[in-house]
Structure 1
Amino acid sequence: MWEFKVGNNFGATAFTSYGAFWLSYAVILIPGFGVVAGHTNAPDHTLDNALGIFLLAWGIFTFIMWIATFRSTVTMSSMFFILVLTFFFLSSAHLTHQPAGNIVTKIGGGLGLVTAFLAWYNAAAGLYNSGNTFVRLPTGSLAHAHSD
């Protein structure tokens, strides 16, 4: 919420939304909430379909967020693009009812690891400023001087 206070609508939207994603995904997977158990007697692939649609929706949202990074940095834009691919691969694995450990899920997981590395890199690059360190991490600016 501090991001809203300082006028960073993108940061506020990203942190709030992806925080909500992780909370909701945890609720789905934590046995005490009974979401997975509630699908035990459901028709075939009901849970897979639901998770596929859930991840697809987050992929669409992330695509929108990715477009909003076009004037930021190469590392930020790359992180969101890889996250789009992560969501779409994982969604397609669920929607096509792939067995556990399939190649589509593995690709999605690998892309998720690349996303995590880029997220940590972006966090460190934002933290390492002239006020607190001599270390600088290159991020590659995408901003171009022109009027809107």
Structure 2
Amino acid sequence: MATEKGGERAKDIMRLGPVDLKDATSNPAPLGLMGFGMTTVLLNMHNAGWFALGSMILAMGIFYGGIAQIIAGIMEWKKGNTFGTTAFTSYGLFWLTLVFLLLMPQFGWWEGPENNAMIAYFFMWGLFTLYMFIGTLRLNRALQVVFFTLTILFFLLAIRDYTGSATIAMITGYEGIFCGFTAIYAACAQVLNEVYGRTVLPLGPVKR
């Protein structure tokens, strides 16, 4: 009897025809871009010499730059977006590693990283961002600007630590502020364009 009922249910499903499954989840990219952009602007205000490195930047690095971006990356994974998953999860973990590099010596867990180690750290993140920038060439102009300026930022951070130059440190700060605001623009554009149902802020889609 159970087999007969199962067969009848299968026939009923077949009669319904194909089911149209639509993705009804929201776009996580603005969350990730805002988490990255705002935290980058605030950290680089410090790098530019506007104020000291304190708990405000560290808290932003843990929660908005770190955890919020990881959440956005997980949401992008669910939507099948490999680029978004890789970018947001990676940069979320970047912020967490950076904060822990700063805090762990304060807690006496490990000694602070050597200068050469931080040069290598920023250089490797620059390489990662460079190949992600190449991926944006198939996406839109706004993301191209974000990843291009971020690539420059990471290499400038490595050069700053290599040279110890205060001038390069200040230039790095202002370049980082600009980079952060490009990410904020991309986030705002996606939110406002969706809310108003038209292009309020252009993203510059790439023709394929």
2:137 to 28, 47, 70: 70
Rounded Cα–Cα distance in structure 2 between residues aligned with 1:11 and 1:108: 26
Correspondence 1:133 to 2:200:
no
Secondary structure, in 3 states, of the residue corresponding to 2:136?
coil
AA matched with 2:207: H
Relative to its length, the structure with more helix (as a share) is 2
Code of the aligned partner of 1:58:
W
Shift of 1:7: 1.0
Aligned partner letter, 1:140: G
- Residue 24 of structure 1 corresponds to which residue in structure 2? 97
Q: Is the 8 A contact 2:156 2:172 kept in 1?
A: yes
Question: How many angstroms apart in 2 are the aligned matches of 1:50 and 1:33?
Answer: 19
| Deviation per residue, 1:67-123 (Å, 9 max, x gap) | 000021111101100000000011011123x15xx1111111111101110111111
Q: Which residue number in structure 2 is paired with residue 42 of structure 1?
A: none
Equivalent position to 1:95, from 158, 162, 168: 162
Gaps of 5+ in 2: 1-73
The letter for the 2-side match of 1:25 is L
The residue that corresponds to 2:148 in the other structure is 81
1:106 aligns with 2:170: yes
Deviation >3 Å, runs of 4+? none
Paired residues, number: 132
Contact 1:55/1:91 (CA < 8 Å) preserved in 2? yes
- Conserved 8 A contact 2:192-2:200: yes
Normalising by the residue count of structure 2, what TM-score does the alignment of the two structures yield? 0.59
The alpha-carbon deviation at position 32 of structure 1 amounts to 2.2
Structure 1 unaligned residues grouped into runs of 5+: 40-45
Report the counterpart of residue 61 of structure 1 in structure 2.
Answer: 128
RMSD between aligned residues = 1.7
Kindly indicate whether the alpha-carbon contact (under 8 Å) linking 2:193 and 2:200 is maintained by their aligned counterparts in 1: yes
8 Å contact kept, 1:79–1:118: yes
Check whether the contact 1:53–1:95 (CA below 8 A) recurs between aligned residues. Answer: no
Q: What is residue 52 of structure 1 aligned with on the other side?
A: 119
Q: Normalising to structure 1: TM-score of the pair?
A: 0.82
How far is 1:133 from its partner? 2.5
Whichever of the two has the greater Rg, that structure is: 2
